[in-house]
Amino acid sequence: MGKCGKVWLVGAGPGDPGLMTQRGIDVLKVAEVILYDRLVHPAILLNASPDVLWINAGKTPRGRRMEQHEIHRLLISHAAKGKRVVRLKGGDPFIFGRGGEEAEVLAQAKIPFEVIPGVTAGIAGPAYAGIPVTQRGMSTELLFRIGARAEGSVRGRTLVGYMTVEGMGDFLERALDLGFPLSTPAGVIERATTSQQRVITGTIGTLANLAKRKRVSAPAIVVVGTVVSLRNRLRWWEKRVLAGKRIVLTASEALRKGWRECFEDLGAEVWEIPMTHIQPLIPEKAWVQKILKADWLVFTSASAVRFFPQALGDLRKVAGCKIAAVGKGTADVLVAIGLPADWVGQGPGSEKLVQGWPQWAKGRILHITGDAGDDSMIQRFRKRGYQADRIIIYRNQGGRSIPKPVQDALQKEGADWLVFASGTAASRFRRLFPRLKKIRQVVAIGPATARAARNAGWRVSCVAKEPSAQGVLRAMMRAS
């Protein structure tokens, strides 16, 4: 993305904060600038960072208002400075929300953007009132219309069809009956919003044959109207480097924090199927005694870092110790808990850590770790003449059971990438799926994990040079 930032056009839903999408909340948490509308519920804004720049872009009837051209200018100017910008709108940004106009100016300015749909009030309001807007035997069409005062200078209609794949010809005939010309742009979106999304466009006169030739199948949505022509300028979903890719993460809950967002931001569909559950152990007095005697505390996992404050009780006790991290990913987590590393290895793997250990780093070494690994790192240090020991502060347990529908879908459809962050995860995943065939590529977080994965029968495509989400991502990009 270079120096340029990004804009997210986010639907905040109809009012109830609980109807805001998870994706929308995730983006709010990392936003640096938020332009919000009057109709956004204040409780939704609590999800944002306390350091965010707030810009009230609301419009009140016959009251104060920010002109649309000013909103456009602010979106472009902040994104051009490299900021993460959220345009937060009530309902859905593309339903009477002028989100399409904002997308157009962003596309013209070559600013990357993403659309996060929201629940529109035209559906949610009636639902909360106990009114189904469609009912078998009573209503087969749903018409959304804007108030006369807000129509603008040009009027037009958009027709959206559900469950229309088999009867597409009849549906398009109905569009002609409603007054749409034969040359009106029309499109079909197959498996919308999933990694298998496919879009085919034409006109009322050509779409049915195009869909048949391309073998479009349900579920699919048909859209008829001049707005379909905007797709040529506003298509954003396919432009992301991981769009259409399904990635399965097998990391533990503790380790995968931030990993899903890393891949989703680039367009991937992420399935989190953790193979391990990390459980902190009850602190022992012997741990503190060993820590106080140590000159160096060595961390080779994010889980060890996260559970360390709980194990120690008071971080001031390590004031006399130096801190080492296996790689940048672990070092970043150390910074987050207030323990910046004095030395960071090139990663990944404990073997590489010992090989790269600096000559100036003298004294007793204490490895803070979990029960899944062995003491091979300690033995390597001892062979090089160091006094080395370890304490085990967490237990590595099996992950939760996987629902059968998820297992069935994975067996049937597979995935583009399978990500292993530990040898344990690779072994456990193989036991769960002994005959999983439709996995296109496998990536391992480091050499040791890659060896364990190969021993478990996985064909490893690439290995990360750095044990972190970004390291894994770079390995995937090199292999693609």
Question: Which positions ≥6 away from 140 have C-beta within 8 Å?
Answer: 134
Query: Are the beta carbons of 100 and 94 closer than 8 angstroms?
Result: yes
Read off the pLDDT of residues 447-470 as tens digits, 9 standing for 90 and up. Answer: 889 999 999 999 999 999 887 888
Q: Token pair 């009850």 is at which residue?
A: 282
Selecting among 3, 26, 37, 371, the annotated active-site residue is 37
Selecting among 29, 51, 59, 322, the annotated active-site residue is 59
* Tokens found for residue 78: 């902040």
Read off the pLDDT of residues 266-281 as tens digits, 9 standing for 90 and up. Answer: 999 999 998 888 889 9
Read off the pLDDT of residues 365-395 as tens digits, 9 standing for 90 and up. Answer: 999 998 877 788 999 999 999 999 999 999 8
* Tokens found for residue 190: 């197959």
Q: Is the pLDDT of residue 23 over 90?
A: yes
Q: Is the pLDDT of residue 182 over 70?
A: yes
Read off the pLDDT of residues 58-76 as tens digits, 9 standing for 90 and up. Answer: 876 666 678 999 999 999 9
pTM: 0.75
Establish whether 26 is a catalytic residue.
Answer: no
Question: Which positions ≥6 away from 221 have C-beta within 8 Å?
Answer: 160, 161, 162, 164, 188, 189, 192
Average pLDDT, the chain: 89
| Pick from 155-164, 319-328, 432-441, 445-454: least confident | 155-164
Domains of the chain: 6-123 (3.40.1010.10), 156-239 (3.30.950.10), 246-275+401-479 (3.40.50.10090), 278-398 (3.40.50.10090)
Q: Is the pLDDT of residue 1 over 50?
A: no
Question: Which positions ≥6 away from 422 have C-beta within 8 Å?
Answer: 251, 252, 255, 275, 276, 372, 445, 449, 452
Establish whether 37 is a catalytic residue.
Answer: yes
Q: Is the pLDDT of residue 149 over 80?
A: no
3-class secondary structure, 441: strand
The amino acid at 284: E
**Dist CA 302 CA 194 (whole Å):** 31
The beta-strand segments (E) located in 22-83 are 33-36, 53-56
- The mean pLDDT value for 177-206 works out to 93
* Tokens found for residue 97: 């929300």
Question: Which positions ≥6 away from 97 have C-beta within 8 Å?
Answer: 11, 89, 90, 91
Q: Cα-Cα-Cα-Cα dihedral of 193, 197, 201, 204, to 10°?
A: -70
Q: What is the DSSP string of 57-91?
A: --B-TTS-B--HHHHHHHHHHHHHTT-EEEEEESB
The amino acid at 51: D
Please give the pLDDT value at position 163.
76
Please give the pLDDT value at position 375.
87
